Amino acid sequence: MLFKQQALLRQKLFVLGSLAVGSLLYLVARVGSLDRLQPLCPIDGRFGPRGQDEIPLRALQFKRGLLHEFRKGNATKEQIRLHNLVQQLPKAIIIGVRKGGTRALLEMLNLHPAVVKASQEIHFFDNDENYAKGIEWYRKKMPFSYPHQITIEKSPAYFITEEVPERIYKMNSSIKLLIIVREPTTRAISDYTQVLEGKERKNKTYYKFEKLAIDPNTCEVNTKYKAVRTSIYTKHLERWLKYFPIEQFHIVDGDRLITEPLPELQLVEKFLNLPPRISQYNLYFNATRGFYCLRFNIVFNKCLAGSKGRIHPEVDTSVITKLRKFFHPFNQKFYQITGRTFNWP
């Protein structure tokens, strides 16, 4: 009897000891993982002078959760007020270009704890009906944020719409403007591909790219075709420069953002006067999708929609050559104005 009691006691002690060791190992692993994650979004640095504009990481994580609940309608306006959250006008806008990588750039910048993105394209400045609703309508379309965070929206139609530069200038003459560009011919084909896919979804037929891009009467590049006009970057930029100095623009290499995103994002951080927070940990290559996806933390990852990275149709090489020759002088002028050179043919 005594022997059985001693055996049972030893068994209980063994189980308790195993649990204690297991708990200790878990805590050690947990602390180690937290240490490894610390470079992700350390907020111990300062956005401004020492002690100003500091947001604890825990508060930012709570804020993300709170805003998620608010968007679902589960958080009250009183909760928003108590946590000092506001809807503020953007301090930076991604103005274009269409099919240059504007969505990817916006989502990647949202990795930064001091950046809050507007989820949808607002089309305030390029849409007369929306613009007539006034600046307060625009403000209410912005996400909630802390007062010292940067709200960013993107509407790529802004870049090519004639009235937009003056309208944005009237709102904020010192706003920072981001333009993301790709090799002009590739961008034009990507533009065509998106429209083609939309037509196919509706079981509609559509012209081949070659027939749209080349004028059949002159056999020259058809500058009336919108996909071609959009790729003449310097023509649109010159219109913006009537209102804003070149120092308020930052040009992002959309081709490089696909293959090597981190250096491009670090340049944007610097342009926006943000402390460097986006690291290689936040970006991982998804071989299945064929481009980089985003890692916010150990739990939450995000890839862009499946519509991104469409396969382009084959285009006659003589048309590609003609387009590249056409864009070349415009590209050279674009390099000269912006001070940034690209390896475009």
Which residues are known to be catalytic? 99
Here the tokens at position 90 are 């953007």
The region that residue 63 occupies, defined by phi over 0 for left and psi between -120 and 50 for alpha, beta otherwise, is: alpha
3-state secondary structure (DSSP) of residue 231: coil
Please tell me whether 99 is known to bind a ligand: yes
Q: What is the C-alpha to C-alpha distance for residues 324 and 184, in angstroms, rounded to an integer?
A: 8
- Closest by CA to 162, choosing from 134, 138, 136, 128, is 128
CA distances from 245 to 289, 295, 332, 338 (A): 39, 35, 19, 11
Does the annotation place 102 within a ligand binding site? yes
- Tell me: is residue 192 an annotated ligand-binding position: no
| Residue 310 labelled as part of a binding site | yes
DSSP codes, 30-72: HHHHHHHHTTTS---S-SSSTTSS---HHHHHHHHHHHHHHHH
321 is in an annotated binding site: no
Instruction: For residues 343 and 345, give the distance between their C-alpha atoms in angstroms, rounded to a whole number.
Output: 7
Q: Which residues contact 229 (CB under 8 A, 6 or more apart)?
A: 160, 223, 235
Close Cβ partners of 237 (under 8 Å, ≥ 6 residues apart): 179, 249, 334, 337, 338
Instruction: Give the burial string for 199-222 (b: 16+ CB within 10 Å, else e).
Output: eeeeeeeeeebbebbbeeeeeebb
Residues 19 and 302: their CA atoms lie apart, in Å, by: 36
Residue 89's φ and ψ, nearest 5 degrees, are -65, 150
Query: Binding site annotation covers 103?
Result: yes
Residue 93 pairs in a beta bridge with 153, 177
311 is in an annotated binding site: yes
190 is in an annotated binding site: yes
Preceding peptide of 97 cis, ω within 30°: yes
Place of tokens 């308020």: 248
Determine contact, residues 316/210, Cβ cutoff 8 Å: yes
- Whether residue 198 is annotated as binding a ligand: the answer is no
Least Cα distance to 90 among 116, 63, 54, 121 occurs for: 116
Annotated binding site: 99-103, 182, 190, 292, 308-312
Annotated binding site for 3'-phosphoadenylyl sulfate: 99-103, 182, 190, 292, 308-312
